[in-house]
Structure 1
Amino acid sequence: MTATALPQSRVPDSCDAPVLRWGIMGPGWIAERFTESIQAHTGQVIAAVGSRSLSRSKAFADTFDVPAAYGSYEELAAAPDLDIVYVCTPHTGHHAAAVLAIDAGKHVLIEKPIGLNADQARDIAARAETAGVFAAEAMWTFFLPKFDVIRQILDAGTLGTITTVVAEYGEHFDPSHRIFNPKLAGGPLLDLGTYPLALVTEVLGSPLQLAALGQPHESGVNAQLSAIMQFDGGAQAVVNTHVHNFTPTAATVVGTEATLTIDGPFNMPGGFEVRFPDGTRLRHDEPAGGHFEGLHYEAAAVARAIAAGGTEANQRTLAASIRTLEVADEIRRQLGVVFPGEAATAGRTARH
């Protein structure tokens, strides 16, 4: 039956969230965007920043009027006046940094991916549970108002039985970018591919079968990968991600009753359309935007969850984060991609 209207977003105003005192662990590009967003759109307080370089911490603190700057992650984790640590180190440092904060009794929000692999994600989840602290992956897409509407559409069965999900993400990077550094777990999978993989696993769960193809980059990282998956009931998904150039970064969820097409870039604020076989089209419009317009939603949601005594984010549970990394691990296993600190296993014979 054709729907006549789309649901409304239930995401509250970010300014209304209880205020936490945040520590930034790793003052890089995403930390800058996060800080800009929450200082502009919420009452959250960035109380401290920590880096392996005190000069970098002080520069960040001066730029964003942060009162405390530390020259090590250990000092930041031990700071007594922080409620939560936002881990945004390079990918290879996410697990160790999160463990530092958890062991110090701090809540943690960990930049995506929550770990290099599913084992690291499981370890973080187990440690957080033991410590009784909040932990979540900063997969900001799922905290956006538009995704709350999409979740309601999926939960209501408006699309019918889901048969197909197709999602891609390609981007151009300067040759000096860390994405081309094998020592930092470079390649598109963790930076870009995590978005389409997260969407697929959010909608369809874990695949029963997966086949992946890869293309090498001269730097030694993977340059491009594609994967096709089949799920319980026969549904399929197709994912592509690469570092060659920009793409629409589009996503489509096909059901037996309707098709959901998310405007590109699908992982950022923006609109989407639900199309029915009889020609009816229902449109969700919101201003297109980037990190400045969107990152504050995850911070506010985390603050609300912690204030309510929660240890996870409903929008992105730890189980969901682990599930996405399990799929990424299988893709890498088939392509022979090994990240720093991992032992090579059967099937991992070369970087592709």
Structure 2
Amino acid sequence: MALRWGICSAGKISHDFIVALKTLPAVDHKVAAIASRDLKRSEEYAKQHNIPKAYGSYEELAEDPDIDVVYVGSVHTQHHALVLLFLRAKKNVLCEKPMGMNAAEVWDMVQVAKENSVFLMEGFWTRFFPVSEQIRTLLRADETVGIVLNYSGNRQAVLNCTMMIDLPGEALIGGTDGIIKIPNHMNSPTVMFLKGKRWEWPLPTSPEPLFFEHDIGLRYEAEHVRLCLLKGLKESPVMPLHESEIIATISDEARRQVGVIYEQDRVECINQSESRK
């Protein structure tokens, strides 16, 4: 029986996720419903993608008994409230990254998922590309992996990302047996080099235009979710929930150091202050 997906939000990333699902076997994946706060927009999406149900509220999607898992593709400021809505309705959830605005929100979602005994995963799609799986296979002899950002003598490892220009996204992973090179698209890799050998896993042709390059690769995380649910898992062994919490904590610290404060951070501070009284 096909895994029945509910799509939360009728935005661009939801479109690309639906298109990516179409490259997977129909016997394994089916989009059963689409929901947004605008019924007309949901109906347009449903018509475009041949989705049987369209809802004008997320609550209706949460109450639909024919949904196995919900893909939350809304803007990230809404992730916390929407994920909690679906988890409390006993729905499995794949939430687009970042899962929450801060570590407190992520921790909250993880606890609610555990309380309701449902699957929850953050959509770090990079981990499910075949190139990423091959890298994990090659690096499996390593017992411990450390990411060091600051060195002695004022030396630093610098990670660059931007939404302002199109960077090549090259990555180099050095080890005692050689260097793995990803020439571009390190977040959605299809090619890697090691010791002069080229490894390539071409993406399937998209059946429809996409908003973002390589988004057809969302198919990999979708299939991973299906396999996790078939095994009765409540979280992914490749993208475990404790790592989502760690990533959110690192992001919180990075924002703190550059002075970026979200409204959600202020709310959390108020909650902590009230709890101490």
- TM-score class, shorter-chain normalisation, is 0.7 to 0.9
Superposition deviation, residue 340 in structure 1: 3.1
- Of the three residues 175, 195, 201, the one matched with 1:286 is 201
- Residue by residue over 1:47-77, the C-alpha shift from the partner in whole angstroms, topping out at 9 and shown as x without a partner, is 0011111111111111101111111111111
Identify the structure with the greater strand proportion: 1
- Normalising by structure 2, what TM-score? 0.86
Check conservation: 2:37, 2:56, Cα contact below 8 A: yes
Matched, 1:252 2:156: no
Alignment of 1:62-141 (within 5 A): 62-141=47-126
Matched, 1:32 2:15: yes
Matched, 1:339 2:257: no
Superposition deviation, residue 292 in structure 1: 4.5
Comparing 115-124 with 327-336, which one deviates more in the overlay? 115-124
1:271: which partner in 2? 191
Aligned counterparts of 2:257 and 2:188: Cα–Cα separation in 1 = 30
AA matched with 2:234? T
Alignment of 1:272-351 (within 5 A): 272-274=192-194, 280-287=195-202, 290-343=213-266
Superposition deviation, residue 319 in structure 1: 1.2
Matched, 1:48 2:33: yes
AA matched with 2:182? I
Structure 1 residues 229 and 33: alpha-carbon distance in aligned structure 2, compared to 1, 3 A threshold? farther
Structure 1 residues 130 and 145: alpha-carbon distance in aligned structure 2, compared to 1, 3 A threshold? same
Superposition deviation, residue 288 in structure 1: 5.8
SS at 1:240's partner residue? coil
Structure 1 residues 87 and 230: alpha-carbon distance in aligned structure 2, compared to 1, 3 A threshold? farther
Aligned length: 257
Superposition deviation, residue 116 in structure 1: 1.2
- Residue by residue over 1:283-306, the C-alpha shift from the partner in whole angstroms, topping out at 9 and shown as x without a partner, is 212226744431111111101111
Superposition deviation, residue 323 in structure 1: 1.3
Aligned counterparts of 1:287 and 1:38: Cα–Cα separation in 2 = 17
Aligned counterparts of 1:41 and 1:31: Cα–Cα separation in 2 = 16
Structure 1 residues 330 and 344: alpha-carbon distance in aligned structure 2, compared to 1, 3 A threshold? farther
- Of the three residues 116, 130, 146, the one matched with 1:204 is 146
Superposition deviation, residue 345 in structure 1: 9.9
SS at 2:158's partner residue? strand
Check conservation: 2:16, 2:216, Cα contact below 8 A: no
Check conservation: 1:20, 1:84, Cα contact below 8 A: yes
Comparing 311-320 with 131-140, which one deviates more in the overlay? 311-320
Q: Give the superposed CA RMSD.
A: 2.4
SS at 1:325's partner residue? helix
2:272: which partner in 1? none
SS at 1:241's partner residue? coil
Comparing 99-108 with 287-296, which one deviates more in the overlay? 287-296
SS at 1:156's partner residue? coil
Structure 1 residues 328 and 247: alpha-carbon distance in aligned structure 2, compared to 1, 3 A threshold? same
Check conservation: 2:104, 2:268, Cα contact below 8 A: no
SS at 1:108's partner residue? strand
AA matched with 1:82? I
Matched, 1:261 2:181: yes
Aligned counterparts of 1:345 and 1:305: Cα–Cα separation in 2 = 32
- Normalising by structure 1, what TM-score? 0.68
Check conservation: 1:108, 1:135, Cα contact below 8 A: yes
Superposition deviation, residue 334 in structure 1: 0.2
Superposition deviation, residue 84 in structure 1: 0.7
2:2: which partner in 1? 19
Superposition deviation, residue 344 in structure 1: 8.6
Superposition deviation, residue 236 in structure 1: 6.4
Runs of 4+ in 1 over 6 A off after TM superposition: none
Superposition deviation, residue 314 in structure 1: 1.5
Structure 1 residues 288 and 204: alpha-carbon distance in aligned structure 2, compared to 1, 3 A threshold? farther
AA matched with 1:319? H
